[in-house]
Amino acid sequence: MFLDYLHPSAGKTAVGLLALVALLPAWRVAECGELKATPSISIDERYDTNPYGRSRTEAVDPDFVTKLAPSLSAAYDARDAKINAAYRLNAAFYSQRSPYSSIGHNLNLGLNTEISNKTTMSLNNVYNHAKTSVYDADEIHTGFDTVSTDALTASAEHKIDARLTATIALSENFYVYKASDKIDSRRDGAAFGGRYDAGNDRLLSASYGYGNTVFETPGGANTTETHTIRAGLADNSSRTMNFNLGAGAVYNPDRESGRYDWNGDAGVAGTFERSSATLSYKRGIAHGAGLVSEQTTSETVSAGWKTEMSNDLGLDITGSTNRNRSKPEHTIDAKSYNAGASVRWKAYSWLNAAIGYSRMRQWGDGAVETRDVEQDAVFITLTATGAEWRGSL
C-alpha cells in the first residue's frame, strides 16, 4: 500500500492484507464501539560529538541536533474487535549542516479480533520512511541512507484445550533504499508452532519457521531461503524474578558451505521495591538488508536498570555490546557497545521531561572503511500529551 510508489509489488500485497482487515471483522465493527484519539509531541535537543557518523580517522565535527516528533494515536473498540492506528512525523534539524536535516514518517495500522471463543487473529501493517544510519538497522555503522520499509504481518492463535495453544504467523517485509549501492529486497516468512502451559506460570513453546529473501539485483532476482526449528521456556513463577530461554537450529539450503547454524536468546528480569533490572543475550542469523551475498550473525548482550527515586522522578541506565559477523565476504564484521543514562521527571500529568547522556563506540576490520566510529551525546527531551478525545460510533 504505502510502498506502491517505490516498489512494484509492495502496494498490491498491502492492499490485499488491509482489505482483509476491513472485510473480515466488518460485521463486528459495525456494532457500536468507542473511539479514542490522543495527540502528543516530543521535542529533543542534543549536542552530538559525531552526528554524521564519521570514522575516527576523518575530521569529526560536533553539532546541535533538534528533533521534533508530533504524533496522533487512535483506537476503536467494538465488542470483539479492536482497531489501532498511529502516525508519527520524525523531523531532525542540524544546526551546522542543514543538508543532513530530514523528515521521516511512521504509520502503524493494526487489528485484533476474536473469531470465536477459542480463536483470535491479529493483522498489522507498519510503514517507516526515514533517513537513518545502517547501524540502526543492522547494529553496524556504514553511514547514512534513506530507507523505506513496509512490514505486513498476520497471525492467529487457537486454544486446543486449557493448556495447549496453536499459533500461525505470516509476514512480508519490503526494504527500499535510496542509495544506488544498496539492493532493494522482500522478505517473506511463515511460522507454525504452539505453547504449552506447564503450570506454575511456566510456558513451553516450539515452532518451525520458513524465510525467503528476494534481492532485486540488476541482473534479476536473487533468492535465499532459511529454515528454523526452535524451542523455548518462559518462567514467571516468582513475583520478583522471571526468565526466558530459547534456542533453534537454522538451515540455509542455498549456501555451498556452512549451511547449518544456530540462534538463541536468554533473559532474566528482576523487580525490587522501587527498581527493576534486566539482563539478556541474543544470537540471530539473517541476510544483511541491502546486501545480497552476506549472511550475518549478530550476538548482543544487553543490561538495564530502572529505579523510581520518587513518585515523579526516575533514573534509567542501559548498556549493550554487539558482535556482528558476516560471510562469505566479511564486509560487515564489527563490534560495538552502547551505554546511556537518563533522569525522567513527570513535571505535570501531561508533560514528561528527560535529560541524559549516551555513548556509542564501534570498531572492526571489515571491508567498509567507516568502521571506527565514536559518538557521545547529551540530550534533553520534552514530551507533551494532549487530552484524550472519546466518542461513540
At 161, which CATH number?
A: 2.40.170
CA separation for the pair 131, 377 (Å, rounded): 19
pLDDT of residue 333: 80
Residues paired with residue 227 on neighbouring β-strands, in sequence order = 210, 251
Name the strand (E) or helix (H) holding 335. strand 334-348
CB-based contact 63:97 (threshold 8 Å) = yes
Instruction: Record the cell numbers describing residue 298, joined without a space.
Output: 549478530
Confirm whether 377 is domain-assigned.
yes
Rounded Cα–Cα distance for residues 275 and 317 (Å):
11
- pLDDT tens for the chain, 393 residues long, are 444 444 444 444 544 544 454 445 544 444 567 899 999 999 999 999 998 878 877 888 899 999 999 999 999 988 778 999 999 999 999 999 888 888 999 999 999 998 888 999 999 999 999 876 554 444 444 556 788 899 999 999 999 999 999 999 999 999 887 766 677 888 899 999 999 999 989 999 999 999 988 887 777 667 888 899 999 999 987 889 999 999 999 998 876 666 888 999 999 999 998 999 999 999 988 765 545 556 778 899 999 999 999 999 999 999 999 998 877 666 668 889 999 999 999 999 999 999 999 999 988 765 555 468 899 999 999 999 999 999 877
**Residue 328 to residue 252: CA distance in whole angstroms:** 13
- pLDDT for position 139: 43
In a domain, 4, yes or no: no
Is 2 among the domain residues? no
> Backbone phi, then psi, for 298, in 5-degree steps?
-120, 130
Any idea what the Cα angle at residue 302 is, between residues 234 and 151, rounded to 5°? 75
Answer whether residue 103 is part of any domain.
yes
Q: Do the domain assignments include residue 5?
A: no
| pTM for the full predicted model | 0.82
Buried b (16+ CB within 10 A) or exposed e, 141-154: bbbbbebbbbbbbb
- Domain total in the chain: 1
**Helix (H), strand (E), coil (C) string for 56-72:** CCCCCCCEEEEEEEEEE
Check residue 1 and give its pLDDT: 43
- Give the whole-angstrom CA distance, residue 207 versus residue 60: 47
Contacts 24+ apart (CB under 8 A), 63-67: 63/94, 63/95, 63/96, 63/97, 64/94, 64/95, 64/96, 65/92, 65/93, 65/94, 65/95, 66/92, 66/93, 66/95, 67/42, 67/43, 67/91, 67/92, 67/93
Q: For residue 63, what are the contacts with CB-CB under 8 A and spacing of at least 6?
A: 47, 48, 51, 52, 94, 95, 96, 97
Full residue range of the structural domain in which residue 47 is found:
10-392
* Residues 6+ away with beta carbon under 8 Å from 255: 295
Tell me if 346 is assigned to some domain: yes
How far is residue 302's CA from residue 323's CA, in Å, rounded to a whole number? Answer: 12
Name which of 146, 147, 134, 53 is nearest 322 in CA terms: 134
b/e for 271-304, b at 16 or more Cβ within 10 A?
Answer: eeeeeebeebebbebbbbbbbeebbbbbbbebeb
Backbone angles phi, psi at 22, to 5 degrees: -75, -40
Amino acid symbol at 231: A
CA distance 206 to 258: 24
DSSP-derived letter for residue 99 is G
pLDDT (0 to 100) of residue 220: 66
pLDDT of residue 285: 81
Inter-residue contact 123 to 110 (CB < 8 Å):
yes
pLDDT in tens, 283-338: 988 765 545 556 778 899 999 999 999 999 999 999 999 998 877 666 668 889 99
Q: Alpha-carbon distance 306 to 267, whole Å? A: 16
Q: Is residue 78 part of a domain?
A: yes
| Cα gap 170→152, rounded to integer Å | 8
Answer whether residue 1 is part of any domain: no
Q: Which amino acid is at 164?
A: L
Residue with cell 521521516: 104
Please report the pLDDT score of residue 138 as a whole number: 44
| Grid cell of 295 as nine digits | 549472511
Residue 113 is which amino acid?
T
Q: What is the pLDDT of residue 364?
A: 78
